Amino acid sequence: MQRMQVRRLSAPLGAIVENLDVRTVDDASWRTLNDLFCEHHVLIFPKQDLTPEAQMAFGRRWGELVCHPYAGLSDHPEIIELTNHGKRRDVNQHWHSDMSYNECPPKLTMLYALAAPEFGGDTAFANQHLAYEALSDGLRTLVDELEAIHSAEGLAGIYGEDPKEAPRATHPVARTHDENGRRALYVCRAFTQRFVNWTREESRSLLDYLYQHSVRPEFQARQQWRPGDLVMWDNRSVLHFAVHDHGDDPRVIHRLQVAGPRPE
């Protein structure tokens, strides 16, 4: 196995792992990668050559693969193929945490780029550990006591499913990472509806503040895609945003996710 080289993507989060073929990762190397993942929250592996089976095999290194409730390849239901359908039909034009409407949301998302535009089409990330730690003592105390309701109602409507049947879950507004022990904000505009025992109207002002605060520029990093890039991020502590600024240029990415614990 090659000797991997690691360099930081940015100050807030992220690391680029070079000189590593993820198809060759053994147990010892995986433990090193997991330590890097818990520290940097986003890992980028350039110049990979992966079939869906190889991507799934690497994904299983991290845990059980989970399926999206409304999408998936017919022969590999654990993988969603993301393609450029135009900005008006792009459902990822917002900051979010994947599938937070599940009782046990995925702990990580892994994307593999088959085609990427020459310019644009980046994915932006925001470190929610830093967002939590930057709150004032008073607001942090309040946030620590709150729970919020997350729902896939809007997503169900996009896929032509019954919103009344969409999954929903209640989670703490600040969750503790089960591996590194750090606290992180855990709300997103896409799926968080309101605080438990609060109305939507009562919740709106504080949620809007948390949404804006959570993606301050000093918490962010961006990935500029190239074919062969494999990128994984910690869904327990990172928000992400697919930036659609590449017009009609092709962008084809295979996404899979790994099961995670119930947020606490």
Q: Which residues is 185 bridged to in the sheet?
A: 174
What pLDDT does residue 162 have?
Answer: 83
What pLDDT does residue 70 have?
Answer: 65
Q: pLDDT confidence of 118, banded at 50, 70, 90?
A: confident
Examine residue 264 and state whether it is found in any structural domain, yes or no: no
Low-confidence winner among 33-42, 147-156, 162-171, 243-252 (lowest mean pLDDT): 243-252
What pLDDT does residue 45 have?
Answer: 98
Closest CA to 237 of 120, 81, 133, 89: 133
Residue 226 belongs to domain spanning: 5-258
What pLDDT does residue 159 have?
Answer: 67
pLDDT for 74 beyond 70: no
Examine residue 142 and state whether it is found in any structural domain, yes or no: yes
Q: How many CA atoms lie within 13 A of 65 on its CB side?
A: 19
Find the mean pLDDT for residues 8-15. Answer: 97
Q: What are the angstrom distances between the C-alpha of 99 and each of 67, 105, 109, 169, 249?
A: 10, 6, 10, 10, 27
Q: What are the angstrom distances between the C-alpha of 26 and each of 5, 33, 37, 174?
A: 16, 10, 16, 34
CATH number for 10: 3.60.130.10
Examine residue 173 and state whether it is found in any structural domain, yes or no: yes
Low-confidence winner among 28-37, 112-121, 148-157, 191-200 (lowest mean pLDDT): 148-157
Examine residue 168 and state whether it is found in any structural domain, yes or no: yes
What pLDDT does residue 135 have?
Answer: 98
Find the mean pLDDT for residues 230-245. Answer: 93
Chain-centre distance for alpha carbon 147: 20
Examine residue 116 and state whether it is found in any structural domain, yes or no: yes
Here the tokens at position 221 are 């990093």
Total structural domains within the chain: 1
CA distance 171 to 73: 29
Handedness of CA 37, 43, 45, 49 (dihedral sign): positive
Examine residue 141 and state whether it is found in any structural domain, yes or no: yes
What pLDDT does residue 170 have?
Answer: 98
Tell me the whole-structure pTM to 2 decimals: 0.92
What pLDDT does residue 59 have?
Answer: 97
The three-state DSSP-derived secondary structure of 83-142 is CCCCHHHCCCCCCECCCCCCCCCCCEEEEEEEECCCCCCCEEEEEHHHHHHCCCHHHHHH
Instruction: Collapse the DSSP code of 58 into the 3-class scheme (helix H, G, I; strand E, B; otherwise coil) and give the result.
Output: helix
Examine residue 78 and state whether it is found in any structural domain, yes or no: yes
Q: Which residues is 43 bridged to in the sheet?
A: 15, 232
pLDDT for 209 beyond 60: yes
Q: pLDDT confidence of 93, banded at 50, 70, 90?
A: low
Q: How many CB atoms lie within 10 A of CB 140?
A: 15
